[in-house]
């Protein structure tokens, strides 16, 4: 990226200063055009006429047909004001049109200041597209691209990216819309000049990055032809207030404190209690019972001992250093106790209590944040169930301890969802590194956690439930770094809520829904889960599956019926069924009955013995052209469920011993014994589900989405 040359910057600066000086929010068309020219964004030939004759002469110079457009800082919606005439074909028509537009403008707004009438070369042919930029409350500057007219207006077929973007990302936007095929030329039309279009997008992204005071840009329409992209109409809006950038700690500083939070040498429990059922008692019992090996200091003004540990009246009385203070006291006492933590030099405070912003008590929360900032304390919560970090045997929560260690870190903004995470983890025996409640996110949020998990060798996959992001840009920065190494699954709640934002540009209005989140999360390399259960199953399955090396997926099934449904699921999940080469097809055929079907799915037919599953799956694992296997099992007397499960586990292990590590998922159709078989397979690294053909394929699809965006697949 980087900023543009100085001349261009000076030019834009000059325009914006003038607009600001005049207290305007909207630029005139000529001003917009001047900015486009400075940034190398092509616009049609045009000129400003202040008399009929000037207009007629200008039109003759540009060549007919021309368009005539009113220029007035007081008329934003020119068409509504009758201020636009298109297809004007002669000098006489220009004169007549000039008069008519002026009359219309006067009728629309008698007091409008009118700078003149723009005479513009009319662009014809090609494809109309819209390119724009807006300032998203979560993500800041975003650029948008869509097809003009009905597609963007009615079908909302538009795609967004966080600005700035490079040429490659700009190109990816052209493929990011549903109707992308139109740009490649349909029904005999020329394909558009993708490079030229991408260049316009990239320059708009640079413009709003260089000048954050530019709030919205609408190039609508841009005419895209086979060798050009020209912005026929330019609207630019600026912020009239001050533009403030959020404060962002350096990643190193975040990492330092988060490491103390997750691996503390000593934890104080403020409000520790001997009374069962109290949060201050549950936290103490969970810390001790969970096996946390560091120092535990109960703080309680009325007890000398809590749960067998020496208690202190105040945190200041504790002899040693304290990394983390867990708060289990009513909200109103939090600011005072936090001051004491500050005096003691505590690094992080875990605020379990509710009664802050979530109950409308924003003031109290602001006060707590102020105290924390002043002392340099990072805050987790308030209004949370606490957090788990299994490598430290740390259960700083009032829920039950969790001890199945593994690579998945889960976080939730909501306590209810946190409880669902815990129940699901327990029932599936999911290997977990951390479960963290974020609650009101008064301070520590998703990007802090991502920064820690990125460097945490105990974590191999992250799954996050979130309702909003305090700082979308910081999240994207952190996500972009970690997703290069580890998959991050996000369940974004509130995705169907309609944005109720007032917006005065097309791009702004279109950015009001969930599409911005969707596109930008994808841009950040995040795998978005469509629902809670999918988030949980992705978290469970993704760490088990090795990263695929390429796109060739093969289905091997004992039930033709499952094969069809598994194929459906592959298309749905964006997976590519391998086109099996003849020699490989022949190799598979050797193992299956003559009426079985090679090809893909490979249907080994239902009555086959274990050896047929074994031979075909082994071939699927060993042939280098195949990158992932989907198995469809059909319960028969000849190959009972556990026989199938054990043989698949063995064949997969044997392959891994030989250095062949491909993702294998399975769908088991059969009587209830298949449930046990699925558990066995999960325990042995095969993602397997009973009574569903969709779920195993979805999990594999999620792994592929991550691997693709991390650039790990062979092209």
Residue 669 binding its own copies, by CB under 8 A: yes
Whole-number Å distance between alpha carbons of 344 and 315: 7
Contact flag: residue 505 with its own copies (CB under 8 A): no
The three-class DSSP label of residue 506 is helix
CA distance 506 to 629: 45
Is residue 678 part of the contact set for its own copies (CB under 8 A)?
no
Q: How far apart are CA 609 and CA 644, in angstroms?
A: 9
Give me the least distance between CB of 282 and its own copies, in Å please: 9
Tokens 């220029």 — which residue? 71
- For position 676 contacting its own copies by CB under 8 A, the verdict is no
Q: Which of these, 222, 238, 242, lies nearest to 230 by C-alpha position?
A: 222
The helix or strand, by DSSP H or E, that contains position 431, with its residue range, turns out to be none
Among residues 285, 309, 426, 618, the one that binds its own copies under rule CB under 8 A: 426
| CB-nearer residue toward its own copies: 113 or 333 | 333
> Shortest distance, CB of residue 136 to its own copies, whole angstroms?
20
The residue from 414, 440, 451, 458 that contacts its own copies (CB under 8 A) is 414
| Residue 175 engages its own copies in binding (rule: CB under 8 A) | no
Confirm or reject binding of residue 113 to its own copies (CB under 8 A): no
Determine if 76 is a binding residue for its own copies (CB under 8 A). Answer: no
Phi and psi torsions of 681, nearest 5°: -65, -45
End-to-end CA distance of the chain: 26
- Does 358 bind its own copies (CB under 8 A)? Our answer is yes
Sites for its own copies among residues 565-624 (CB under 8 A): 565, 567-569, 571-572, 593, 595, 606-607
Span interacting with its own copies, options 24-32, 145-153, 234-242, 340-348, rule CB under 8 A: 145-153
Q: How far is CA 307 from CA 87, 326, 337, 402, 564, in A?
A: 86, 16, 21, 20, 59
Member of 203, 206, 441, 695 binding its own copies (CB under 8 A):
695
The stretch among 40-48, 93-101, 181-189, 329-337 that binds its own copies (CB under 8 A) is 181-189
DSSP 490: E
- Distance of alpha carbon 695 from alpha carbon 560, whole angstroms: 18
Q: Of 239-298, which residues contact its own copies (CB under 8 A)?
A: 277
Distance of closest approach, residue 680 Cβ to its own copies, in angstroms: 16
Contact call for residue 560 and its own copies (CB under 8 A): yes
CB of 671 to its own copies, least distance (A): 5
For residue 388, give both structure tokens: 């788990």
Cβ closer to its own copies: 614 or 675? 675
Q: Which stretch binds its own copies (CB under 8 A): 183-191, 302-310, 471-479, 480-488?
A: 183-191
Integer Cα distance of 574 and 585 in angstroms: 23
Residue 45 or 599: the one with the smaller Cβ distance to its own copies is: 599
Nearest-approach distance from CB 412 to its own copies, in angstroms: 7
Distance between CA atoms of 566 and 602, rounded to whole angstroms? 11
Contact 376, 368 (CB under 8 A): no
All residues at 6 or more sequence positions from 519 whose CB lies less than 8 Å from its CB, including other chains:
159, 160, 161, 176
Q: Does 635 bind its own copies (CB under 8 A)?
A: yes
Q: How many CA atoms lie within 13 A of 138 on its CB side?
A: 22
Binding string, 444-463, against its own copies, x = CB under 8 A? --------------------
- SS3 state at 663: coil
714 contacts its own copies (rule: CB under 8 A): no
Between the CA of residue 544 and those of 430, 509, 540, 690, what are the distances in Å? 10, 42, 8, 18
CB of 11 to its own copies, least distance (A): 34
Q: Give the range of 193-201, 203-211, 518-526, 628-636 binding its own copies by CB under 8 A.
A: 628-636
Among 201, 257, 267, 536, binds its own copies (CB under 8 A): 536
Per the CB < 8 A criterion, the answer to whether 296 and 288 are in contact is yes
Neighbour tally for 411: CB within 10 Å: 24
Does 497 contact its own copies by CB under 8 A? yes
Using CB under 8 A as the binding rule, whether residue 153 contacts its own copies is answered as: yes
Rounded CA-CA distance 439/386 in Å is: 9
DSSP state, residue 546: P
Residue 702 in contact with its own copies, rule: CB under 8 A: no
Nearer to its own copies, 9 or 400 (CB): 400
From 49-57, 205-213, 336-344, 411-419, give the range in contact with its own copies by CB under 8 A: 411-419
Continuous segment of H or E residues that includes residue 443: none
Q: Out of 158, 463, 674, 702, point to the residue binding its own copies (CB under 8 A).
A: 674
* C-beta atoms surrounding 318 within 10 Å: 21
Choose which of 359, 611, 658, 676 interacts with its own copies (CB under 8 A). 359
Regarding 147 and contact with its own copies (CB under 8 A), the answer is yes
* Token pair belonging to 104: 């219309």
- The piece of 14-22, 446-454, 524-532, 647-655 that touches its own copies (CB under 8 A) is 524-532
Shortest Å, Cβ 238 to its own copies: 26
Among all chains, which residue has been given the structure tokens 């006492």? 333
Closest to its own copies by CB, 206 vs 695, is 695
Tokens found for residue 544 = 């088990």
The 10 Å Cβ neighbour count of residue 328 is: 26
Min. distance of Cβ 705 from its own copies in angstroms? 18
Question: How would DSSP label each residue in 229-265?
Answer: EEES-EEEEE--S---PPP---HHHHHHHHHHHHS-S
User: Minimum distance from CB of 632 to its own copies (Å)?
Assistant: 7
Q: What is the DSSP string of 606-634?
A: TT--HHHHHHHHHHHHH-TT--EEEEEEE
528 binds its own copies (CB under 8 A): no
> Pick from 7, 154, 247, 502: which binds its own copies (CB under 8 A)?
154
- Check binding of 632 to its own copies (CB under 8 A): yes
Measuring CA to CA, which residue among 495, 510, 528 is closest to residue 706? 528
Of 505, 552, 693, 709, the one binding its own copies (CB under 8 A) is 693
3-class SS of residue 125: coil
C-beta of 168 vs 594, nearer to its own copies: 594
Q: Is there binding between residue 399 and its own copies (CB under 8 A)?
A: yes
Strands 432-437 and 386-389: antiparallel
Q: Does 679 bind its own copies (CB under 8 A)?
A: no
Total residues at interface with its own copies (CB under 8 A): 82
Rounded distance, CA 681 to CA 650, Å? 10
């Amino acid at each position: 990226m980087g900023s543009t040359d100085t001349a261009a910057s000076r030019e834009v600066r000059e325009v914006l200063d003038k607009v600001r000086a005049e207290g305007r929010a909207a630029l005139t068309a000529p001003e917009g055009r001047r900015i486009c020219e400075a940034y190398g964004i092509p616009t049609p030939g045009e000129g400003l006429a202040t008399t009929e004759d000037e207009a007629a002469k200008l039109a003759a110079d540009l060549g007919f047909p021309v368009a005539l457009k009113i220029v007035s800082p007081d008329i934003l919606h020119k068409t509504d004001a009758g201020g636009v005439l298109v297809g004007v074909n002669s000098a006489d028509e220009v004169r007549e049109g000039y008069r008519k537009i002026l009359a219309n403008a006067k009728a629309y707004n008698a007091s409008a200041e009118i700078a003149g009438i723009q005479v513009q070369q009319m662009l014809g042919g090609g494809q109309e597209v819209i390119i724009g930029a807006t300032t998203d409350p979560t993500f800041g500057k975003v650029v948008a691209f869509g097809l003009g007219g009905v597609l963007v207006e009615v079908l909302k077929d538009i795609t967004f990216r966080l600005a700035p973007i490079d040429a490659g990302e700009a190109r990816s936007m052209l493929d990011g819309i549903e109707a992308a095929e139109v740009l490649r030329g349909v029904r005999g039309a020329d394909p558009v000049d993708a490079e030229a279009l991408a260049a316009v997008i990239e320059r708009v992204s640079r413009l709003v990055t260089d000048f954050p005071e530019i709030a919205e840009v609408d190039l609508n329409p841009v005419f895209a032809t086979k060798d050009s992209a020209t912005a026929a109409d330019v609207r630019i809006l600026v912020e009239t207030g001050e533009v403030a950038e959020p404060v962002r700690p350096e990643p190193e500083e975040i990492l330092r404190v988060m490491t103390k939070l997750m691996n503390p040498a000593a934890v104080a429990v403020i409000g520790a209690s001997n009374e069962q059922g109290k949060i201050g008692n549950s936290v103490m019992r969970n810390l001790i019972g969970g096996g946390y090996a560091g120092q535990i200091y109960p703080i309680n003004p009325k007890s000398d001992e809590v749960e067998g540990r020496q208690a202190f009246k105040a945190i200041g009385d504790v002899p040693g250093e304290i990394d983390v203070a867990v708060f289990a006291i009513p909200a109103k006492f939090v600011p005072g106790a936090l001051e004491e933590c500050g005096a003691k030099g505590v690094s992080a405070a875990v605020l379990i209590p509710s009664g802050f912003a979530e109950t409308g008590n924003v003031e109290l929360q602001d006060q707590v944040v102020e105290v924390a900032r002043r002392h340099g304390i990072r805050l987790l919560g308030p209004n949370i169930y606490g957090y788990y970090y299994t490598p430290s045997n740390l259960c700083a929560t009032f829920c039950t301890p969790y001890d199945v260690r593994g690579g998945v870190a889960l976080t939730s903004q909501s306590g209810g969802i946190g409880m669902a995470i815990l129940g699901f983890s327990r029932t599936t025996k999911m290997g977990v590194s951390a479960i963290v409640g974020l609650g009101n996110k008064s301070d520590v949020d998703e990007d802090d956690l991502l920064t820690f998990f990125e460097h945490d060798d105990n974590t191999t996959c992250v799954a996050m439930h979130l309702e909003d992001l305090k700082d979308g840009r910081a999240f994207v920065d952190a996500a972009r770094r970690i997703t290069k190494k580890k998959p991050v699954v996000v369940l974004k709640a509130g995705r169907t809520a309609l944005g109720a934002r007032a917006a005065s540009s097309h791009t702004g209005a279109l950015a009001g829904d969930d599409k911005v989140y969707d596109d930008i999360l994808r841009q950040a390399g995040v795998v978005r889960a469509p629902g809670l259960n999918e988030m949980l199953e992705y978290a469970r399955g993704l760490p088990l599956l090795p990263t695929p090396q390429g796109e060739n997926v093969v289905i091997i099934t004992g039930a033709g019926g499952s094969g069809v449904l598994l194929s459906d699921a592959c298309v749905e999940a964006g997976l590519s069924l391998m086109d099996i080469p003849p020699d490989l097809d022949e190799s598979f055929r050797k193992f299956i009955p003559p009426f079985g079907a090679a090809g893909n799915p490979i249907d080994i037919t239902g009555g086959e013995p274990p050896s047929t599953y074994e031979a075909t799956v082994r071939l699927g694992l060993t042939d280098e052209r195949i990158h992932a296997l989907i198995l469809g099992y059909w319960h028969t007397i000849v190959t009972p469920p556990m026989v199938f499960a054990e043989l698949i586990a063995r064949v997969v292990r044997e392959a891994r011993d030989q250095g062949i590590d491909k993702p294998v998922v399975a769908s088991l159709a059969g009587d209830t014994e298949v449930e046990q078989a699925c558990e066995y397979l999960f325990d042995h690294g095969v993602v397997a589900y009973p009574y569903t053909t969709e779920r195993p394929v979805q999990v594999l699809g999620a792994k592929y989405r991550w691997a693709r965006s991390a650039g790990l697949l062979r092209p």
